[in-house]
Amino acid sequence: MPDALPPGPPPGPRDPGDAWAYGPDGTKAWGVFGAAGLLVDDGHGRVLLQHRVEWSHHGGTWGIPGGARHQHEDAVTGALRESAEEAGVPLDGVDLRHTSVLDLGYWTYTTVVGRASTPFEPVISDRESLALSWIPLAEVDTLPLHPGFGASWPALRDAIGTTPHVVVDAANVVGSVPDGWWKDRAGAAGRLLSQVTALAAVGLPADALGLGFTQWWPRWTVVLEGAAVAASAADAGPVSVVRAPGSGDDAIVAAAAAALDAGHAPVVVVTADRELRERVSALGADVSTRGPSWLRDRL
């Protein structure tokens, strides 16, 4: 998405990122530190698009709210900031789904994909939009799209409904390291839950889930059993806690099945238990298993 949206003169001091980046062949793209934008869907088959003002590059076309990243700003923060500034998207109103990065070597554009966690109506809050509209997925291709967004749209559209889900066999993961967990099973489970919650906030690389694009933010279910059910932890954002009243294995199989029933896929179950792996694998091709080290290496 080179030459993405050079804005008009700002009312105040500009960030150092608000300038052109130049490639070795003289091509240029807006944003010294790269650029980022937000593609958000409403969970009902519509995405928020911006009709770009005529004076902008590729003015009159439709794309997503976005712009140059600020100095020391990561792509997700930049995309959320830009969408808040340009479209009134609430900063705490988007559940992250995945990111896609166009890397030209001298410049990157990151598309951050999210879903509205609560309904909101976009608001034109600067001079960079002719209109902001929730567009049905089937109608996006009928619009004159910004060339960069148009090129990426087919793959983005196909992944709109993809929701990966990780189910964690907490007892198996905790028990994989001899760190004295048996002295305080609830405390060890609580520490694992804190680590999983932190990991859920930063996401997983796409190859960890066997998916395309760059980064994903799956849903998580952590299953506790036995003495670990006393762990002082509650559901937090994308992380749900299941306290098994009986067999932990039964609760894990049920959690994986419930994720599939909710339309989530792929489902990854983290356990080294051979029998449990066979049980969850029998749920279908959308379910796979990973050992505890797969998770521990990322915590």
Digit-coded pLDDT (tens) for 50-70 = 998 888 777 899 999 999 999
Q: What is the mean pLDDT of the chain?
A: 93
Q: Do 139 and 245 belong to one domain?
A: no
Total structural domains in the chain? 2
Task: List alpha helices for the chain, DSSP H.
Answer: 75-87, 147-159, 170-174, 185-202, 206-209, 248-261, 274-281, 292-296
CA distance 6 to 14: 12
Last residue of one domain, picked from the residues 159, 181, 210: 159
Give the range of the structural domain holding residue 59, as residue numbers without chain letter: 20-159
CA distance 166 to 247: 19
Give the HSE-up count for residue 163: Cα atoms under 13 Å, Cβ half-sphere: 15
Q: Give domain status of residue 256, yes or no.
A: yes
Q: What is the pLDDT of residue 72?
A: 94
Q: Give domain status of residue 10, yes or no.
A: no
Q: Do 68 and 114 belong to one domain?
A: yes
Q: Is the pLDDT of residue 14 over 90?
A: no
Q: Do 71 and 151 belong to one domain?
A: yes
Please state the pTM of the whole predicted model: 0.90
Structure tokens at 8: 């008009």
